[in-house]
Structure 1
Amino acid sequence: MTNKLEVHNLTHTFNGGNTVHVLDGLSLDVADGEFVTLLGPSGSGKSTIFNLIGGLYRPDSGDISIDGTRVNGTRGNISYLPQQDSLLPWRTIEDNVTLVQEITGTVDKETAHKWLKRAGLEGYEKSYPSTLSGGMRQRVAFIRSLLSPQELMLLDEPFGALDELTRLDMQDWLLKIWEMDRRSVLFITHSIEEAIYMSDRILILSEKPARIAREIEVPFERSRNHDIILDESFTKLKREIYHMLRAGDEDD
């Protein structure tokens, strides 16, 4: 597999009233078509990593490459799905989904309708976001991300605001849709169970200044369903990751 994303020896510091060293020699990669999750304590720099990859910040040192091209400090190279759906309330579902296409000048409503149908949203094309449930809104936001031309997707806790049952449904739905398209994904979550269930690999971050403390290959084959979380091997891996995270806290 070729690497879609390569991050090498990244360091970053915020200089304000207090100097905060956020990243220290962080390196990671995401292969073409791979689903990789960042897992770590709150405040460990996960969102900063996303902002650096997305070009909102420029690192103090190190390199970020997408498809072999160095992209430090440049925008427009990734598709981004934030914690909140960020749908525009005055635009219909159809118009929200095609927003990125409008910006690039390549609107394809036929493809948009096809993906909305796959997302279980057929018949809602002319509806407005306020009429949809939280899970449905996140589906719209994910389809909008899929229709952007960038092959690398950054997903920043997209299910964090949902109730538990909706979150489980959305995990299954996202994996089903993702397996149709196989974009390269870098995913943020605070949930160990979600990280195992969704991912090919899990990268565990240390406390600040963050680096990759551990890398875990998830051993479960795809396609997956939630019966796997009751499997003894799943529970064992969840327990091991929990102790890794706790050990990191104690080291500090």
Structure 2
Amino acid sequence: MVNKLEIDGLTHTFDGQNRVHVLDDLSLHVAEGEFVTLLGPSGSGKSTIFNLIGGLFRPDAGDILIEGERVNGQRGHISYLPQQDSLLPWRTIEDNVVLVQEITGKVDKTAAREWLERAGLGGYASSYPDVLSGGMRQRVAFIRSLLSPQPLMLLDEPFGALDELTRLDMQDWLLRIWEMDRRSVLFITHSIEEALYMSDRILILSDKPARIAREIEVPFARPRHHDITLEDTFNQLKREIYQMLKVGNEND
């Protein structure tokens, strides 16, 4: 089976007043229906990886393949959910959800309403974003990403701006909704606990120039509940990952 995402030997340097070698021979993959998380120090190149996958600029070397097709420098092959929900305040919730579909020319408002109902937002389809809480807005943004036709979703710290209780609730909600669709996901977070709770695999980045320093298979069955965060295995893995990140920083 062809991986949804395959990155091989990705290298990138930003040229300017201060030349920064960000990525060095980085390789990774995301399989069909897999939830993979990138975890690493601030400034290690996680967002650069997303920008390269999304085609915002081309790598200096290496290949990016989505469903076996080389997409270096090409846009339109991924669905993207940023930290901020980016909802348009002048459009209703339903119209925000179908925005990407409008761009692709294949609007399905029936599917939009069905997903809003599943997300507990059916009563807000005709409302505007300013009446929603932060967590509700992120739900709308995630449904919009799910309804995009692309086979790969990039989630860039989508819960980073939420308070802790809302963040925990959104983790559970996203996993429940994701289980219905099982889109391939590459996820960025700074939280070790979030990475362990959400992921099938965790890829730990070194500091710049970044490459994959470690890969961790997460051993917990799905569906998941926050009770697993109290298990000895969970907390042992959390300590091990913390030490990996700490040692990596001390060695730089």
Alignment of 1:1-252 (within 5 A): 1-252=1-252
Secondary structure in 2 matching 1:207: coil
Post-superposition CA distance 1:193-214 (Å, at most 9, x none): 0000000000000000000000
Report the CA distance between 1:122 and its aligned residue. Answer: 1.0
Q: Which residue identity is paired with 2:95?
A: D
Post-superposition CA distance 1:59-95 (Å, at most 9, x none): 0000000000000000000000001000000000000
In structure 2, runs of 5+ residues without a counterpart are none
Post-superposition CA distance 1:83-120 (Å, at most 9, x none): 10000000000000000111111111110000000001
Equivalent residue pairs, number: 252
Post-superposition CA distance 1:21-58 (Å, at most 9, x none): 00000000000100000000000000000000000010
Instruction: Give yes or no for contact 2:2–2:68 (8 Å, CA) kept in 1.
Output: no
Q: Which residue identity is paired with 1:244?
A: M
Query: 2: distance between equivalents of 1:181 and 1:92?
Result: 24
Post-superposition CA distance 1:158-178 (Å, at most 9, x none): 000000000000000000000
Report the CA distance between 1:245 and its aligned residue. Answer: 0.4
Query: 2: distance between equivalents of 1:170 and 1:205?
Result: 25
Query: 2: distance between equivalents of 1:69 and 1:102?
Result: 25
Q: TM-score, normalised by structure 1?
A: 0.99
Query: 2: distance between equivalents of 1:53 and 1:105?
Result: 23
Query: 2: distance between equivalents of 1:48 and 1:106?
Result: 30
Query: 2: distance between equivalents of 1:68 and 1:110?
Result: 31
Secondary structure in 1 matching 2:124: coil
Query: 2: distance between equivalents of 1:82 and 1:139?
Result: 12
The more displaced of 105-114 and 37-46 is 105-114
* CA-atom RMSD in angstroms: 0.5
Quote the sequence identity (%).
81
Q: Which residue identity is paired with 1:85?
A: D
Q: Which residue identity is paired with 1:5?
A: L
Query: 1: distance between equivalents of 2:48 and 2:20?
Result: 12
Q: Which residue identity is paired with 1:108?
A: D
Report the CA distance between 1:2 and its aligned residue. Answer: 3.4
Secondary structure in 2 matching 1:3: coil
In structure 1, runs of 5+ residues without a counterpart are none
Secondary structure in 2 matching 1:107: coil
Instruction: Give yes or no for contact 2:228–2:234 (8 Å, CA) kept in 1.
Output: yes
Post-superposition CA distance 1:145-165 (Å, at most 9, x none): 000000100000000000000
Secondary structure in 2 matching 1:123: helix
Runs of 4+ with >3 A deviation: none
Secondary structure in 1 matching 2:208: coil
